[in-house]
């Protein structure tokens, strides 16, 4: 009985040890998520406060003609901090985070914590027509990546801490934990699992609680007092969604056009922010409301205090669109959220002004309600993240009563935007560069694994001067059906499949006089050890083969088979998607 108990106890103890180890890893991850949430939340609050202070300090300069060059100076200084001082690439910040998760295993340099944080403070604080969200996402993600490296976490958990930093940054800057959660899941991780959900929720909640403790529980924007939405309004919101989708396409393409224009003019990574910044300053000289993050303009629109007709609203929309395209397309650090919210609010207000004469007042919601719906629609279309668009507007305004209008607008806007743009403003550059490879997806696995990991070098080669009778003696020592054929220098000259010469092998007389070099398959497909699984599978399909030789400058290294590739693929899929 004691022996039986010991026999049963050993496996049971292993299960208990595995469970305790897993719980310890879970506990460690949750504690680190709290730390990331605190640090990223502090960075978000500090960035917002610092930018507001800089804006107030620069007000006297912005009032006169000096305001024309002020955005250029801010864009130039902000870009210099990122490019020259911190040696970081230009961009919004969010695509770089997604690239780090998709291609670098979530690794980011510690200097990324402050590079775009300081750069965006200078750029937006000096009047740049952008937001602070992209930079704080980048900084928060770098906090998570740095802490994960210090804790020696694996790639899976490092990516989760990166998402924690992203969610905490969004939650801190907007006081919106649900938006931070949705953004990190929709944009950064592109997945929802038990392992990733709880730490990200915790980090976002900690950052939001910190923001609430310092600033109270008031929302960034005050929702209209009257938010009742009728069935007529819902139908109108579908039309508003169409307009928001087209506006999102204009913003996405506008930023892309300016980015390509800077490249064609060979302005360099500092020349484009300087020149485009002058353009932003000129726009701001005539339309001051187009400068900065535009939050004060959103306040006016939602409250109905902006006494502007359709043409003036359309002019404001065009001015903000051009200014934001110049600011973001220049490569200067700045976020997309704020321009999207402003353009969405203007779209909603303009839509309301256009249809107001045709619909009785008691059957039409307020201009603020349509502005809220437009904000959600523009964010959803630009980011191609509907849940983020809906939750963001609800949390920053408290306009939960407009949920149905938001849903109708965001869904329509997303459908329209995707009809014209396959990728969002964040993902376009990544997709074009082939960097949009999500963990656990076919593309990521096929790009991550190299043929060298699947190589079988325990192969008995044959020489072209051997006879088929010699081949029979070699074949008896292995169960293989495919043999590489080498020349006198050891270079691969062809392949020989036993089944293709079966008739000759069964005739001893022919086997003794037939040389391997006369019946082998010359040339043919081959792969290198550095090829990815995707490249190897393309070669397999092109050659309609099951086994291919692996070479390096004609030197034979071994064989690789489809069955081996599929086995490696299954193992890698398990590693990239495991939750323990």
224-242: per-residue pLDDT in tens?
655 667 778 889 999 999 9
Per-residue pLDDT of 183-194, as tens digits, reads 998 888 877 776
The residue whose two tokens read 């770089």 is 96
Note the pLDDT of residue 109.
92
The torsion angles phi and psi of 555, rounded to 5 degrees, stand at: -80, 125
Residue 515 DSSP class? B
Give whichever of 6-20, 383-397, 530-544 has the largest mean pLDDT: 383-397
| Whether residue 278 has pLDDT greater than 90 | yes
Note the pLDDT of residue 226.
59
Note the pLDDT of residue 7.
40
Note the pLDDT of residue 347.
96
CATH code reported for the domain at 14-215: 1.10.3080.10
Query: Going along 426-565, which residue ranges are E strands?
Result: 462-463, 482-486, 492-497, 521-522, 527-528, 547-552, 555-561
Note the pLDDT of residue 471.
83
Q: CA-CA distance, 503 to 509, in Å (whole number)?
A: 12
List C-alpha distances in Å: 81 to 126, 129, 275, 298, 413. Answer: 15, 18, 17, 30, 36
Note the pLDDT of residue 484.
84
| Whether residue 244 has pLDDT greater than 60 | yes
Q: Which one is predicted more confidently, 118 or 155?
A: 118
Mean pLDDT of 404-409: 91
Note the pLDDT of residue 345.
95
Q: CA-CA distance, 309 to 525, in Å (whole number)?
A: 68
| Whether residue 116 has pLDDT greater than 60 | yes
DSSP H stretches of helix in 126-154: 133-150
Parallel, antiparallel, or unpaired for β 527-528 and 482-486? unpaired
Note the pLDDT of residue 454.
77
Mean pLDDT of 73-99: 89
| Whether residue 13 has pLDDT greater than 70 | no
- How many helical (H) and strand (E) elements, i.e. helices and strands, does the chain have? 24, 7
What does the buried/exposed string (b/e) look like for 474-506 if buried means 16 or more CB atoms within 10 Å of the residue's CB? Answer: ebeeeebebbbbbeeeeebbbbbbeeebeebbe
What does the buried/exposed string (b/e) look like for 526-563 if buried means 16 or more CB atoms within 10 Å of the residue's CB? Answer: bbebebbbebbbebbeeeebebbbbbeeeebbbbbbbe
Q: What percent of the chain has pLDDT over 90?
A: 39
Cβ–Cβ < 8 Å for 80, 123:
no
Per-residue pLDDT of 307-344, as tens digits, reads 778 899 999 999 999 999 999 999 899 989 999 999 99
Cβ–Cβ < 8 Å for 51, 124:
yes
Cβ–Cβ < 8 Å for 373, 409:
yes
Name which CATH class applies to 231-436: mainly alpha
Query: Going along 321-467, which residue ranges are E strands?
Result: 462-463
Q: Is 434 helix (H, G, I), strand (E, B) or coil?
A: coil
Q: CA-CA distance, 576 to 578, in Å (whole number)?
A: 6
The residue whose two tokens read 């292995």 is 478
Q: Please state which of the ranges 147-156, 200-209, 556-565 shows the lowest mean pLDDT.
A: 556-565
| Whether residue 438 has pLDDT greater than 50 | yes
The torsion angles phi and psi of 259, rounded to 5 degrees, stand at: -60, -45
Q: Which one is predicted more confidently, 124 or 560?
A: 124
pTM higher than 0.95, yes or no? no
Note the pLDDT of residue 6.
42
Mean pLDDT of 519-547: 81
First to last CA, the chain: 35
Q: CA-CA distance, 171 to 540, in Å (whole number)?
A: 48
Q: Average model confidence (pLDDT) for the chain? A: 84
Q: Is 467 helix (H, G, I), strand (E, B) or coil?
A: strand
Q: CA-CA distance, 183 to 163, in Å (whole number)?
A: 9
| Whether residue 156 has pLDDT greater than 90 | no
In the chain, CATH 3.10.580.10 covers 443-577
Q: CA-CA distance, 24 to 446, in Å (whole number)?
A: 32
In the chain, CATH 1.10.3080.10 covers 14-215, 231-436
Q: Which residues pair with 556 in a beta bridge?
A: 551
Q: Which residues pair with 495 in a beta bridge?
A: 484, 521
Write a three-state SS string for 346-376.
HHHHHHHHHHHHHCCHHHCCCHHHHHHHHHH
CA neighbor of 178 nearest in space, from 187, 168, 163, 193: 168
| Whether residue 141 has pLDDT greater than 90 | yes
Q: What percent of the chain has pLDDT over 70?
A: 88
| Whether residue 375 has pLDDT greater than 50 | yes
Give whichever of 253-257, 397-401, 559-563 has the largest mean pLDDT: 253-257
Note the pLDDT of residue 15.
42
Q: Which one is predicted more confidently, 438 or 467?
A: 467
CA neighbor of 484 nearest in space, from 545, 552, 547: 547
Cβ–Cβ < 8 Å for 134, 97:
no
Q: Which one is predicted more confidently, 178 or 522?
A: 178
Note the pLDDT of residue 321.
96
Domain 443-577 has CATH 3.30.70.20: no
Per-residue pLDDT of 342-356, as tens digits, reads 999 999 999 999 998
């Amino acid at each position: 009985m004691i022996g039986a108990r010991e026999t049963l106890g050993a496996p049971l103890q292993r299960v208990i040890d595995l469970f305790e180890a897993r719980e310890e890893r879970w506990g460690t991850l949750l504690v680190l998520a709290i730390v990331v949430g605190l640090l990223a939340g502090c960075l978000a609050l500090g960035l917002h406060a610092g930018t507001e202070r800089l804006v107030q300090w620069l007000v006297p300069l912005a009032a006169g003609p000096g305001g024309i060059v002020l955005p250029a100076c801010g864009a130039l200084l902000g870009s210099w901090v990122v490019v020259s001082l911190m040696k970081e690439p230009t961009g919004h910040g969010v695509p770089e985070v997604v690239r780090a998760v998709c291609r670098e295993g979530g690794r980011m340099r510690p200097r990324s914590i402050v590079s775009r944080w300081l750069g965006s403070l200078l750029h937006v604080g000096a009047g740049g027509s952008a937001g602070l969200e992209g930079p704080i996402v980048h900084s928060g993600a770098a906090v998570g990546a740095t802490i994960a490296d210090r804790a020696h976490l694996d790639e899976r958990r490092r990516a989760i801490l990166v998402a924690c930093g992203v969610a905490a940054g969004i939650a801190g800057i907007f006081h919106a934990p649900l938006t931070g959660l949705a953004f990190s899941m929709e944009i950064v991780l592109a997945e929802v699992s038990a392992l990733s959900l709880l730490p990200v929720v915790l980090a976002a909640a900690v950052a939001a609680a910190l923001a609430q403790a310092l600033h109270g529980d008031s929302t960034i924007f005050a929702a209209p007092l009257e938010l009742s939405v009728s069935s007529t309004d819902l139908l109108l919101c579908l039309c508003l969604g169409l307009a928001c989708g087209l506006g999102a396409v204009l913003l996405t393409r506008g930023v892309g056009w300016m980015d390509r224009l800077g490249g064609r003019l060979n302005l360099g990574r500092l020349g484009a922010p300087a020149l485009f910044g002058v353009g932003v300053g000129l726009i701001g000289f005539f339309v001051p409301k187009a400068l900065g993050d535009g939050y004060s303009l959103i306040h006016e629109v939602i409250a109905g205090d902006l006494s502007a007709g359709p043409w003036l609203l359309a002019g404001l929309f065009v001015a903000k669109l051009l200014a934001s395209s110049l600011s973001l397309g220049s490569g200067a650090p700045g976020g997309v959220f704020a321009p999207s919210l402003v353009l969405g609010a203007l779209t909603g207000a303009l839509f309301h002004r256009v249809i107001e004469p045709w619909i009785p007042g008691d059957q039409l919601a307020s201009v603020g309600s349509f502005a809220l719906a437009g904000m959600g629609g523009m964010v959803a279309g630009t980011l191609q993240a509907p849940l983020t668009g809906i939750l963001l507007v609800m949390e920053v305004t408290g306009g939960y009563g407009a949920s149905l209008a938001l849903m109708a607008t965001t869904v329509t806007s997303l459908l329209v935007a995707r009809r014209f743009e396959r990728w969002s403003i964040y993902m376009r550059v990544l997709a074009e560069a082939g960097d949009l490879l999500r963990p656990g997806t076919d593309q990521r696995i096929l790009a991550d694994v190299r043929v060298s990991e699947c190589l079988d070098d325990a192969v008995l080669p044959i020489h072209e001067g051997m006879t088929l009778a010699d081949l029979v003696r070699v074949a008896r020592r292995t169960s293989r059906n495919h043999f590489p054929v080498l020349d006198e220098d050891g270079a691969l000259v062809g392949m020989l499949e036993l089944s293709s010469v079966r008739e000759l092998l069964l005739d001893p007389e022919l086997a003794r006089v037939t040389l391997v070099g006369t019946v082998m398959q010359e040339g043919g497909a081959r792969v290198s050890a550095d090829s990815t699984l995707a490249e190897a599978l393309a070669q397999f399909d092109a050659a309609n083969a099951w086994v291919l030789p692996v070479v390096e400058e004609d030197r034979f290294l071994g064989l690789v088979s489809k069955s081996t590739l599929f086995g490696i693929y299954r193992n890698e899929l398990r590693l990239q998607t495991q939750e323990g």
